[in-house]
Amino acid sequence: SHAWTLVSRPKGSPSMENFALRDIPDQPLKEGEIRVSNSFFSVDPYMRPRMDEGDSYIAPFELNEPMTGAAVGRVVETRSERYKVGDRVSHFLGWRDSATLKAENALPLPVGDLKDEYFLDALGVIGMTAYFGLFDVAEARPGDVVFVSAAAGAVGSLVVQIAKLRGMTVIGSAGGAEKCDFVRSLGADHVIDYKSPGPFEDKLRAAAPDGLDVYFDNVGGEQLDAAMGVAKRNARFAICGMIGMYNSDAPIGFSNLFTVISKRLQIRGFINGDFMARRDECMAQMGYWVSKGLIESRYTIFDGLDNGPQAFFSLFSGGNTGKALVRLGA
Ligand code: NDP
């Protein structure tokens, strides 16, 4: 099989020279192991900070080792009682066409018509991020005015929809007219093109003249600063990601930081893994919404293992709408 490895740590934006596709010889399975032919793997913004050295919530990628990440596939060989050939599983050995792993490190996926893509999106950790970030971390409730950035992306597009399903007023931001149309089509009440000229904070204030109850932050930087400026007293911020800052080590200035005190803002960071013990609760609710057709999932699919790095780069240039995935074996 073949896997992408990181051969050097990017400085600033990642580029092809940081990656190499390597052969990984298939060893015979050991007792308790399975071999999975991957159908899709996920590319995610958090993989960029994983390319740097240093402390984070997940160990950095090791140079010259196969990279990892969420993937879905089918068991093609098994030496475990838990799985038979043909079973569909998700696991964490993405960035490769075929994965050999201990059976206990795979998650069985339901038999049925749901496409593999869902399990790397609404019915996987992306769904958990949106659900727990919005309802638990930000404690968003019906009637709240909620602002979500990167609203045309994987997490953001789910946040828009589940916030509307729970009776909130939703403001979404995205880059460019096409993406803004998509966010509107998901039900957002107001959409802001953050790439249009003029201070973002003015546009946010125009969309939320009475202020924000909740900000679901996917980007950091200017939009976070603006949200602090427009927040109501006691507003809750779920800090999910800061993609606008991942390729830069320049210090960021905030002009509204003092409002954290003056408005008693509650700013809470979180990681979806913090909520793993409550996964079933989330999957039951998301599964219900998906099965009733109440959640639209959009994918940007890159075909073939060769396109793995391109798929990843697209996250930073806004080349994806909805969940960015790499499809294998087509
Ligand atoms: P997306 O599908 O949203 O893709 C990233 C999007 O970010 C792009 O499509 C682009 O949209 C936008 N973007 C890129 N650069 C910038 C920039 N400089 N300023 C503003 N927007 C930018 O990715 P995900 O949904 O997977 O992730 C969204 C965020 O959530 C990320 O920050 C990620 O790290 C975080 N995350 C956190 C998790 C957690 O457990 N805490 C779990 C999963 C994700 P556009 O064209 O609109 O600019």
Per-residue pLDDT of 160-178, as tens digits, reads: 999 999 999 999 999 999 9
How high is the ipTM of this complex? 0.99
The candidate with the shortest Cα–Cα distance to 146, out of 212, 218, 233, 192, is 212
pLDDT category of residue 322 using cuts at 50, 70 and 90: very high
Nearest CA to ligand 1 atom 1: 153
Asked whether 127 and 119 are in contact (CB, 8 A), the reply is: no
**Any residues with CB less than 8 A from the CB of 174 and at least 6 apart, and which?**
150, 151, 152, 153, 156, 180, 182, 183, 191, 192, 193, 194
User: For atom 33 of ligand 1, which residue has the closest CA?
Assistant: 241
Q: How far is the CA of 109 from the centre of ligand 1 (A)?
A: 26
The residues facing 96 across adjacent strands are: 3
- What confidence tier does 324 reach under pLDDT thresholds 50, 70, 90? very high
Write down the pTM of the prediction: 0.97
Q: Is residue 72 a contact partner of residue 40, using CB atoms and an 8 Å limit?
A: yes
Q: Residue range 265-293: average pLDDT? A: 97
Q: Ligand 1, atom 9: nearest CA belongs to which residue?
A: 318
- State the distance from the centre of ligand 1 to the C-alpha of 124, rounded, in angstroms: 16
Beta bridge partner(s), residue 230 = none
Q: What is the pLDDT of residues 89-130, one digit of tens each?
A: 999 999 999 999 999 999 999 888 899 999 999 999 999 999
Looking at residue 188, its pLDDT comes to 98
Q: Which ligand 1 atom is the nearest neighbour of the CA of 274?
A: 40
Q: What is the pLDDT of residues 128-165, one digit of tens each?
A: 999 999 999 999 999 999 999 999 999 999 999 999 99
pLDDT of residue 147: 99
Return the ligand 1 atom nearest residue 239 CA: 41
Atom number in ligand 1 closest to CA 49: 34
- As for ligand 1, residues whose beta carbon falls within 6 Å of it are 44-46, 129, 150, 152-156, 174-175, 179, 218-219, 240-244, 270-272, 315-316, 318, 320, 324
Distance between CA 36 and CA 80 in Å, rounded? Answer: 12
**pLDDT at 82 exceeding the cut of 80:** yes
**Closest atom of ligand 1 relative to the 173 alpha carbon:** 47
Contact (Cβ atoms closer than 8 angstroms) between residue 173 and residue 206: no
Residue closest via CA to ligand 1's atom 46 equals 318
162 touches 131 (CB < 8 A): yes
Give 151 Cα–ligand 1 centroid separation in angstroms: 9
Between the two ends of the chain, the Cα-to-Cα distance in Å is 16
Query: Using one digit for the tens of pLDDT, what is the confidence trace for 307-317?
Result: 999 999 999 99
Distance CA 24, CA 68 (A): 14
Which amino acid makes up residue 74? R
Least confident of 180-194, 207-221, 239-253, 256-270: 239-253
Q: What's the gap in Å between 316 CA and the centre of ligand 1?
A: 8
In this predicted structure, what is the pLDDT of residue 111? 87
Q: Output the pLDDT for position 57.
A: 86
**From CA 14, how far away is CA 308, in angstroms rounded?**
13
Summarize the confidence of residues 284-289 as an average pLDDT. Answer: 97
Q: What is the mean pLDDT of the chain?
A: 97
3-state secondary structure the chain: CEEEEECCCCCCCCCHHHEEEEECCCCCCCCCEEEEEEEEEECCCCHHHHCCCCCCCCCCCCCCCECCECEEEEEEEECCCCCCCCCEEEECECCECEEEEEHHHCEECCCCCCCHHHHHCCCCHHHHHHHHHHHHHCCCCCCCEEEECCCCEHHHHHHHHHHHHCCCEEEEEECCHHHHHHHHHCCCCEEEECCCCCCHHHHHHHHCCCCEEEEEECCCHHHHHHHHHHEEEEEEEEECCCHHHCCCCCCCCCCCCCHHHHCCCEEEECCHHHHHHHHHHHHHHHHHHHHCCCCCCCEEEEECHHHHHHHHHHHHHCCCCEEEEEECCC
- For the chain, where do the domains classified as CATH 3.90.180.10 start and end? 2-121+298-327
Q: In this predicted model, what pLDDT tens digit does every residue of 189-198 receive, in sequence order?
A: 999 999 999 9
Q: Looking at the CA of residue 46, tell me the nearest atom of ligand 1.
A: 34
CATH architecture group of domain 125-273? 3-Layer(aba) Sandwich (3.40)
Ligand 1: centre distance to CA 218 (Å): 5
**Among the CATH numbers 3.90.180.10, 3.30.9.90, 3.40.640.10, 3.60.10.10, which is that of 2-121+298-327?**
3.90.180.10
* Cα 315 to middle of ligand 1, angstroms: 7
Angle between helices 154-165 and 279-291 (to 10 degrees): 80
What residues does CATH 3.40.50.720 cover in the chain? Answer: 125-273
pLDDT of residue 330: 55
Cα of 62 to ligand 1 centre, how many Å? 23
The whole-number pLDDT of residue 99 equals 98
Candidates 44, 136, 243, 246: which one to mutate for ligand 1, based on the most atoms within 8 Å of Cβ? 243
